[in-house]
Amino acid sequence: MLNQLGPIIAVLLLICLAASVGAYPIKKLIRIQEAKHELRHGSPGFFRTMSGWIVIAVWVAVTWFFATIIGEWWAIEDLSAAIHRSGRRLELLLRILEALADD
């Protein structure tokens, strides 16, 4: 019974952690966008806006990575094998983030 509840508990913890970590950058980006559209002196520029989007992209990527490990753990019921196979996904994820950083 506990073996089947492990992935479910992990998903709930991931959702709580991702929401608590991601709330600040999203809130900050919304404030930057609002200030940018008011056209006031000292409004944030393009690069500050882009840095906010990069933080959000990294947050989404990390959440996605851990969600795939939990999903595979739930499907095959073997946490160590799921972590071992996550290496290829991590390589793919790092290549995607590298491509985003090049822009």
pLDDT digits (tens, 9 = 90+) for 15-60: 888 888 877 877 777 777 666 665 555 555 555 555 667 777 778 8
Predicted pLDDT at 49? 57
| Residue 61 belongs to domain spanning | 2-102
Predicted pLDDT at 45? 58
- Tokens describing residue 65: 């990575």
- Total domains in the fold of the chain: 1
- Tokens describing residue 87: 């290496």
- Tokens describing residue 71: 């999903």
